[in-house]
Copies of this chain bind each other. A is one copy, B any other.
Amino acid sequence: MITETLASFVADTPAVAIPAGTAHMLRLSMLDWVACGMAGRDEPVACITRDMALSEGGAAQAHVFGSATAMPARAAALVNGATSHALDYDDTHFAHIGHPSVAVFPAALAVAEAEGLDGAALQVAALIGIETSIRVGVWLGRDHYQTGFHQTGTAGAFGAAAACARLLGFDAAQTMATLGLVATRASGLKSQFGTMGKPYNAGLAATNGVEAAALVQRGFVPNPLALEVAQGFGPTHAGQAQATALDGLGDSWLFDTISHKFHACCHGLHATLEALATINRPAPDEIARIDITTHPRWMTVCNQPDPSTGLGAKFSYRMVTAMALSGHSTAALDSYSDALCANPALVALREKVSVTASETLTETQAALGITLTNGQTVSAQHDLNAPITLDDREARLLSKAEALIGADRTRALWQAIKTPVAARDVGQLLGP
């Protein structure tokens, strides 16, 4: 009875039971989510979904990235989900195989704004919603993802529904109804990857959660067990019903192992960039050659040898290595430009980079060796699963946010999250 257990976790977990470190991690994810959303506000998928929602008008319940005009919560959740995932720069949970923040925060913020709730309640609900989405994702399992379902959209809808149920003060029975109802609407296909359909899937998760909760609030009676029963969501969507998915629920938080992106490029390049960051950077003309070793799976994903476009650069070991060694920020979006790909100094440097695959490394590891013209060698390696302290993470996420939205907005935003202000005031920060 996964639904019953989840519902009781959502409805009954006291805020005081949340460890301080977990609560701080949630604030960091919230900062990162807002920064990614603000940075993505002019992306085509953001403009298109926002324009559709603004054309509908309606009650000024919640704010969206890139507009001063508030709109109904259901619509705002759709727009903010799609907008914050547009750059694919938001956080990831590898057990859940998806992006929990872009599914849950848009729903939680919209409902908290509409209900006039405070920021502390918003953060607790978002955390509980994100944890729910991760647990549902683990319960659905790898088969669900491999079959072609985009967990950000599917498991994310249950997380969004959970966050909204919590914000509306639902008891466990109402929360079960919300989870059961959203089961008939949760969706998202991986065949949309590489198109605007991918970030749209995040918006679907968020708005589906808001809608399910709004209907249950008005007395809607669905099958409350439609996540798990025969012909329910899991059985019909290649779910594995992983028995251990809820182990420790309420005591330990899978959310604690969420990954934040610190580079605006393919995740397969991140271990290499982290390894590069640990060495004293030699001057480009002192470098004779650079050898990178990575897991074989990345060779077909992000090993474009000579990219000519900014997008291509995001999938190129040689290019991002040259960028990092030349002092170009791999965290800033506008670093990845067509012009840089044609820059003679960068091209000369990337010609010195060789990439080799090795089964001795895991998917999260990379190793590099730099041979200098004087014969010296420098080597480094990194594993993305290596622990990172909360302080380091905070410093890096603040730096990322500054690169995305500037120092002033980052300062104001972090202040509003660290000492939580009303959800409405957070919403107003999203605008232009």
Contacts and interface: CB of A to CB of B under 8 A. Distances in A.
B186 A187 contact: yes
Contact of A222 (B74, B200, B219, B230): B200
Contacts of A192: 184, 222-223, 226
B196 A184 contact: no
A229 interface: yes
A184 to B, nearest CB: 5
Interface in A185-207: 185-192, 194-197, 200-201, 204
Interface stretch (A54-62, A123-131, A332-340, A407-415): A54-62
Given A196-B220, A221-B196, A231 B184 contact: no
Interface in A205-223: 211, 214-215, 218-223
A194 B204 CA distance: 26
B204 A185 contact: yes
Nearest to A180: B197
Contacts of A190: 231
Contact of A48 (B197, B218, B231): B218
Contact of A184 (B75, B189, B218): B189
Interface residues on A, range: 35 or more
A44 interface: yes
A200 B184 contact: yes
A72 interface: yes
Contacts of A59: 55-58
A143 B204 CA distance: 26
B222 A197 contact: yes
A72 B53 CA distance: 10
Nearest to A220: B48
17 contacts: A44-B219, A48-B215, A48-B218, A56-B58, A58-B59, A153-B184, A184-B188, A184-B204, A185-B187, A189-B236, A191-B226, A191-B229, A195-B222, A195-B223, A196-B222, A197-B226, A236-B238
Q: Ordered nearest first, which 9 A-B pairs have the shortest CB separation?
A: A148-B231, A58-B58, A56-B72, A197-B222, A148-B236, A191-B231, A191-B232, A48-B218, A184-B189
